[in-house]
Structures are given as C-alpha cells and as structure tokens.
Structure 1
C-alpha cells in the first residue's frame, strides 16, 4: 500500500496521510479548512516499512482503509517552567507587573 503524506504550515509536526496523492475527497471539509494548504512531504510505501516514527502502522492502515485518511497530531509539549512554578506553590504563569 502506498499513501501520500502532507504537512501544514499551521502546526509543526501535524501530518495528513491519504490513500491517493491529491485526493482529499475523504477528508472532512472542516478538517481541510483547519489544516490549511497541504504540502506534499512524500509518497510512503507502507508495505516496505516495519515502523513509522510516531505513527502506529496498523492504526494508520486501518484508518486509511476505514475513513480514507489519517491525521497525525504532534505530541503535547510539556511546559517545564509551569510545572516547576506549580511545584513551588506559585501560579503556572508569572503575573505581569504593571507600573
């Protein structure tokens, strides 16, 4: 199975996988609006790959077969500063000082 992988400039690390290059007909319109202009990253032969970075291969193939697309969302980034401030009994964000 071959799929096309697209990225968006709106969100770092977000990718849209579709079965056929430039065929976004299975992707909901609202998702396409939020995704923005898709930029082709690569054509990916799934049969030749054992693992796929941050994507579970079986989950990807199932989504492509069932709904025609798969949206890879980047992992939530941890805010270490906010966690540290909370551990010290402070608010997560420093209050801005007004003069």
Structure 2
C-alpha cells in the first residue's frame, strides 16, 4: 500500500506534526484537533510505504491511522529525549568547577 502524504507542522508546539493523505488534505481532521494544533503549516509531502522507515514514528501505525481516521498526529518527544541528544560539551557546562 503506497500513500502520498502531506505533513504539516504545528505553530503552537515544536515537534508536533500532522500527517494527512495529500488527496484529502485536512478534510478529515476534526475541527477540535485543528484548533488545538494551530494553523497548520505545510512542511513537505512524501510517499509512504510499509517498507519506509520514519525517524520518530511507526510506519505501520501511521498508515493505519491514515486509512482509518484520515490523519496521524505525531506528538513532540518527551523533554528527557531532548536532553539525551545534547552534545557533551553543553552538559559539561553545567558541572561545578
């Protein structure tokens, strides 16, 4: 199953993205979700297949959500994940001298 998907970025929450089928655009996204998400900003389009790897999402779940509900909401990572990826130099800056 191959899907052409549009990905929108939330202006309200860093790391929050909305995946929709390009042909349907935002038509199946509930109004309440759009209100909470903020005015969607188109980030990019991509072709999704079951074999594709996504950096932060399970492709099977994304494809299933697109099929059943017409969208997939990617939430931002938990705060501690941000800290995991900080360069060691930044972490050492907080060490007492």
* TM-score (ref. length: structure 1): 0.72
Secondary structure at 2:27 match in 1: coil
2:91 corresponds to: none
Question: Larger Cα Rg: Structure 1 or Structure 2?
Answer: 1
Conservation of the 8 A alpha-carbon contact between 2:19 and 2:71: yes
* TM-score (ref. length: structure 2): 0.74
Deviation at residue 21 of structure 1 after TM alignment: 5.6
Q: CA RMSD in A?
A: 1.7
1:26 corresponds to: 28
After superposing on structure 2, the runs of 4+ consecutive aligned residues of structure 1 that deviate more than 4 Å are none
- In the alignment, the residues of structure 1 paired with residue 50 and residue 4 of structure 2 have an alpha-carbon distance, to the nearest angstrom, of 10
- In the alignment, the residues of structure 2 paired with residue 64 and residue 36 of structure 1 have an alpha-carbon distance, to the nearest angstrom, of 20
1:69 aligns with 2:74: no
Please give the residue correspondences for 1:1-99 in structure 2 after superposition, counting only pairs within 5 Å.
1-20=3-22, 23-47=25-49, 50-78=52-80
User: For structure 1, which runs of at least 5 residues remain unmatched after alignment?
Assistant: 79-99
2:93 corresponds to: none
| Pairs aligned (count) | 78
